[in-house]
Amino acid sequence: MRCPPAVVGGFDVQRDEAWKDMNNVRRAIALLRGKVQGLPARGMFAGEKAFAFRGADGASSCTTGMERVHEMKLQTAKAKLRGAAEVFGLGLGYVAVPFLPRRAVVLLARLMGDAGFVFSRRERAIGMANLAAVFGESVPRGERARILRGCYRAFSLVLLDLFWFSVFTRSRVRRYVRMDDSLLDALKSPPVILVTGHFGNWEALGLACGMAGGDLASVANPLANPLADRVLNRTRRLTGQKIVQRRGAVRALMGVLKTGGNAAFLVDQNTTPRDGGVFVDFFGLPVPVSRMPAALAVRTGARIIPTFCVAGAGGVYRAWALEEVKAEGDDQDGARATAAVMAVMEKEIRERPDSWLWMYRRWKYVPEGADAARYPFYSRGLRLHEIAPAGGALEAEEKR
């Protein structure tokens, strides 16, 4: 079938994320019915209107409007079904998990992790690709699979403990999250910026630090499901921890640190240069990391303290802190301190590789000039809107 022109009925339709929005679904339906700007319902067939889309390579591909609307309706239905499943899972988790004995929670996490490793093919493929990119042939494939299975088990315990710690929170945190003197001493001398990653149980770490005293503000990205986001933040706040949304976090954190409070960050997430990130070495491959902790340390004089929390026998966590990462005054954008933080995190992951979240697309972005062949299969280069704007790290984060 011959592809129709890109402009149909006076509209130039491009491939765009906005098509996922229901308002645009309604607009597409209105187009098909000839109700936009009084246009007649015309197209390749009666009741259809043809649209052309441009791919990443600039080439045109085409589909009928009815096909596209059907695809969008199917995506919307899947999103609703997924949202309903998440709500059901949340309800079941909060009803059942908090009243299980600790031994049962640990066993259930092990079973959930093994099932996730077997059935989540896409995430397993990402995890194995990450391990191959990092360790290569120095670690046999069977050992990489063992590490990834342990990662699934650790992450399952994180999820279950979000429910389990929601009841009898303070008594359970005191009993099952044991804080080393290194971490307690760090919290006694605010302001400090605690940096950690998706390693062990970062949520239990936040609960324990919130109980240790002082004003603690943790930065978090909102979840796609608003209900799940509200429920999770409610649990996080049970021990006094404050949750600051990533967008517009700079001003709030500056206020907390300047008044003698503490801040906490997960620093192993992708932050493009436009959003204030800088490429630093991580397992021999450059990745984009937020400079906000380092830049805030320079501005406020707060100390950067790497912290971690890992489960041991019986599901009892140990939380500890390492030596301060210095943020020098001449490192205004925090690039050197950010690289030092990631070096510390890499060292901890190498010592306990099954405690880190290998299923995350950590090596998603390939910087200009890097060897793309060394990156995992899902990686890509930066797009135009992801390139750094003028201004420093804090300015970029504030605009995010």
Rg of the chain taking only CA atoms, in angstroms: 24
62 and 196 assigned to the same domain: no
Which stretch of 44-53, 58-67, 337-346 has the lowest confidence by average pLDDT? 44-53
| pLDDT, the chain, mean | 82
User: In this predicted structure, what is the pLDDT of residue 394?
Assistant: 59
Q: Of 49, 72, 95, which marks where a domain is finished?
A: 72
Instruction: Count other C-beta atoms under 10 Å from residue 116's C-beta.
Output: 19
User: In this predicted structure, what is the pLDDT of residue 398?
Assistant: 56
176 and 316 assigned to the same domain: yes
Q: What is the pTM of this model?
A: 0.78
Query: Strand, coil or helix: what is 194?
Result: strand
Which stretch of 155-164, 209-218, 223-232 has the lowest confidence by average pLDDT? 223-232
Whether the Cβ atoms of residue 4 and residue 44 lie closer than 8 Å to each other: yes
Q: Is residue 157 part of a domain?
A: no
Q: Is residue 62 part of a domain?
A: yes
Listed as own residue / partner, the contacts of 360-364 with beta carbons closer than 8 Å and 24 or more positions apart are 360/126, 360/130, 360/198, 360/268, 360/269, 361/126, 361/270, 362/130, 362/268, 362/270, 362/282, 362/287, 363/130, 363/133, 363/285, 363/287, 364/270
61 and 198 assigned to the same domain: no
Q: Does residue 280 register a pLDDT over 80?
A: yes
Q: Does residue 348 register a pLDDT over 60?
A: yes
Q: Is residue 126 part of a domain?
A: no
Give bridge partners of residue 278 from the DSSP assignment.
289
197 and 300 assigned to the same domain: yes
Q: Does residue 377 register a pLDDT over 70?
A: yes
User: In this predicted structure, what is the pLDDT of residue 332?
Assistant: 63
389 and 273 assigned to the same domain: yes
Closest CA to 48 of 69, 65, 67: 65
68 and 171 assigned to the same domain: no
Q: Is residue 336 part of a domain?
A: yes
Residue with tokens 């199917």: 74
54 and 170 assigned to the same domain: no
Q: Of 20, 37, 72, which marks where a domain is finished?
A: 72
56 and 187 assigned to the same domain: no
Structural domain count, the chain: 2
User: In this predicted structure, what is the pLDDT of residue 41?
Assistant: 37
pLDDT tens sequence across 243-272? 998 877 888 999 999 999 999 999 999 999
Q: Is residue 265 part of a domain?
A: yes
Q: Does residue 34 register a pLDDT over 60?
A: no
Query: Strand, coil or helix: what is 229?
Result: helix
Q: Which residue range(s) make up the domain with 41?
A: 7-72
Q: Does residue 49 register a pLDDT over 90?
A: no
Two tokens, residue 159: 């999820």
pLDDT tens sequence across 5-33? 333 333 333 434 443 444 554 554 444 44
Angle (CA) 292-384-330 rounded to 5° is 30
Cα 348 to Cα 207: distance, rounded to the nearest angstrom: 21
Q: Of 72, 89, 118, which marks where a domain is finished?
A: 72
pLDDT tens sequence across 189-223? 999 999 999 999 999 999 999 999 778 999 988 88
